[in-house]
Amino acid sequence: MSSEGFKETEIGLIPEGWKLKAFSDIVDIIGGGTPKTTMEEYWEGEIPWLSVVDFNNEFRTVNETEKSITEMGLNNSSTKILKKGELIISARGTVGAIAQLGRDMAFNQSCYGLRAMKTMTDNDFIYYLLKYSLNILKQTTHGSTFDTITKNTFDLLKVPLPPMKEQIKIASILSVLDDKIELNHRMNQTLEAIGQAIFRHWFVHFEFPNSEGQPYRSSGGEMVDSELGEIPKGWEVGKLKDVGKIVCGKTPPKSKQEYFGGEVPFIKIPDMHGQTFVVKTEDSLTQEGKKFQQNKTLPRNSVCISCIATVGLVCIIPQDSQTNQQINSIIPQHEFFTLYLYYKMSSMKDFIEILASGGSATLNLNTKNFSNIDIIIPSDEVLKKYYKNVKLLFDQILNNQIQNETLSQLRNSLLPKLMSGKIRVNIPEEASVN
């Protein structure tokens, strides 16, 4: 980058006309708190109460919280209200998770609330400025055991600040991408909920359409006893190993560098969180690494279930992949088993956790016990109808996930260029007044 039109600062070159500011000079920093947990009247009220678990993800906006408090809890603690559009950042343990509030919320003491000083900046711009400055922010943390952000951290963080109109334009460009990502995510939640509702109607209440198109059970469809309760006549109870090949993953030798960094997705539990399809993995294998343990390769439409430590996460594989040893997978006998198994295994999360505990604090469901889980096996005819009914939903979910990955890459590429001034935005000149 040419230095023409730029000036040297302690953080490097920034455009002429931009200012260098301490972050604490452009935002109000607000501490949070927790109402007494022993006071029942402080909890389960109408006020959302944020902790890092609510926003430690890739999404810009946080709209829901696991916990809520009452007005009494708010008034009798150090927690405060942040307004819609203001920012939250985690300050302890998991440092640097950032989100913008989609509604008014209170928050705990492990976070800071941030409010842009309106004469100098804008909340939308501050969100992206924080994302841009995150690595520097983390290097400025304090604490011998756990990283911690203090108010002093924000004094030490120096940031580039464009003129207000340029700030607003930069934020609007990046917001378009984030808004589309969040729209796709909400759409996927709706589509998956529709698929799940159909699953429960067909395979829990047994109201799949009979040969006349009427709900089976309520139309007098014959039910028979089984070890898992009443099931429709013609269905069976079997083991997971009866519906597909069970594969426990494995990690190739880390000493073989030539096995890693290729085009073959290598799935680990963090790749599964919040995902229907695993479209992105942190690690990958080369073709050589894949061949080293060819029998661990999973074809598309296999179903992965996490079985060690964090158990019960369920995902579908959209392309040939391998997993590590913390994941057991099912390669279905037939493709039309896939979506039934996805929802069936998702519905068994609590059971899988119990099975994995074995009286131990560390959850671990071995492949043998996993393979022998009892499962209702519907007729092929019903499974084919269900697959046909929900496949279009899942095709759209996959398309949305792939699009979101592309949009995220574009946003992440633009962010440092826009925030450093390497790419400048056009600010329309105000019309002159005659």
Asked whether residue 115 carries a pLDDT value surpassing 70, the answer given is yes
CA distance linking residue 4 with residue 16, whole number of Å: 9
Instruction: Tell me, yes or no, whether 194 and 120 share the same domain.
Output: no
Split at pLDDT 50, 70, 90, the class of 434 is very low
Instruction: Tell me, yes or no, whether 254 and 342 share the same domain.
Output: yes
Mean pLDDT taken over the chain: 94
Which residue, of 139, 162, 185, is where some domain finishes?
162
Which residue, of 162, 184, 219, is where some domain finishes?
162
Asked whether residue 145 carries a pLDDT value surpassing 50, the answer given is no
DSSP character for 145? S
Confidence at residue 360, expressed as pLDDT on a 0 to 100 scale: 66
Instruction: Tell me, yes or no, whether 64 and 85 share the same domain.
Output: yes
Instruction: Quote the tokens at residue 25.
Output: 């000079």
Confidence at residue 95, expressed as pLDDT on a 0 to 100 scale: 86
Confidence at residue 143, expressed as pLDDT on a 0 to 100 scale: 56
- Decide if 328 is inside a domain: yes
CA distance linking residue 116 with residue 125, whole number of Å: 9
Asked whether residue 4 carries a pLDDT value surpassing 70, the answer given is no
Instruction: Tell me, yes or no, whether 198 and 267 share the same domain.
Output: no
Asked whether residue 348 carries a pLDDT value surpassing 90, the answer given is yes
CA 236-237-242 angle, 5° bins: 95
- Decide if 223 is inside a domain: no
Asked whether residue 3 carries a pLDDT value surpassing 80, the answer given is no
Concatenate the DSSP letters of all residues of 279-298 into one string. Answer: ---SEEE-HHHHHHTGGG-B
Assign residue 192 the CATH number of its domain: 1.10.287.1120
Instruction: Tell me, yes or no, whether 250 and 177 share the same domain.
Output: no
Domain count, the chain: 3
- Decide if 383 is inside a domain: yes
Confidence at residue 358, expressed as pLDDT on a 0 to 100 scale: 76
386-389's contacts with Cβ under 8 Å and 24+ in sequence apart are 386/198, 386/199, 386/202, 386/203, 386/208, 386/336, 386/339, 386/340, 387/335, 387/336, 387/338, 387/339, 387/340, 389/198
- As a whole-number percent, the residues of the chain with pLDDT over 90 amount to 89
Asked whether residue 140 carries a pLDDT value surpassing 80, the answer given is no
Instruction: Tell me, yes or no, whether 171 and 284 share the same domain.
Output: no
Instruction: Tell me, yes or no, whether 277 and 201 share the same domain.
Output: no
CA distance linking residue 304 with residue 312, whole number of Å: 9
Q: Answer for the pair 163, 421: CB distance below 8 angstroms, yes or no.
A: no
pLDDT in tens, 8-50: 999 999 999 999 999 999 999 999 999 999 999 999 999 999 9
Coil, helix or strand for 275?
coil
Instruction: Tell me, yes or no, whether 339 and 405 share the same domain.
Output: no
- Decide if 243 is inside a domain: yes
Instruction: Tell me, yes or no, whether 190 and 326 share the same domain.
Output: no
CB atoms within 10 A of CB 31: 15
- Decide if 433 is inside a domain: no
Q: Answer for the pair 397, 191: CB distance below 8 angstroms, yes or no.
A: yes
Split at pLDDT 50, 70, 90, the class of 228 is very high
Assign residue 299 the CATH number of its domain: 3.90.220.20
- Decide if 221 is inside a domain: no
- Decide if 242 is inside a domain: yes
Instruction: Tell me, yes or no, whether 62 and 146 share the same domain.
Output: yes
pLDDT in tens, 294-323: 999 999 999 999 999 999 999 999 999 999
Asked whether residue 144 carries a pLDDT value surpassing 50, the answer given is no
CA distance linking residue 386 with residue 204, whole number of Å: 13
Split at pLDDT 50, 70, 90, the class of 137 is confident
Q: In degrees to the nearest 10, what's the CA dihedral of 239, 240, 243, 247?
A: -140
CA distance linking residue 175 with residue 169, whole number of Å: 10
Q: What is the mean pLDDT of residues 344-355?
A: 95
Instruction: Tell me, yes or no, whether 351 and 392 share the same domain.
Output: no
- Decide if 226 is inside a domain: no
Coil, helix or strand for 334?
coil
Concatenate the DSSP letters of all residues of 358-404 into one string. Answer: TTSSS-B--HHHHHT-EEEE--HHHHHHHHHHHHHHHHHHHHHHHHH
Boundaries of domain holding 365 = 236-377
pLDDT in tens, 69-113: 999 999 999 999 999 999 999 998 888 899 999 999 999 999 999
Instruction: Quote the tokens at residue 231.
Output: 């099931």
Confidence at residue 135, expressed as pLDDT on a 0 to 100 scale: 84
Confidence at residue 58, expressed as pLDDT on a 0 to 100 scale: 86
Asked whether residue 159 carries a pLDDT value surpassing 70, the answer given is yes
Split at pLDDT 50, 70, 90, the class of 433 is very low
Residues 6+ apart with CB under 8 A from 350: 312
pLDDT in tens, 87-96: 999 998 888 8
Instruction: Tell me, yes or no, whether 353 and 410 share the same domain.
Output: no
pLDDT in tens, 192-213: 999 999 999 999 999 999 999 9
Asked whether residue 139 carries a pLDDT value surpassing 90, the answer given is no
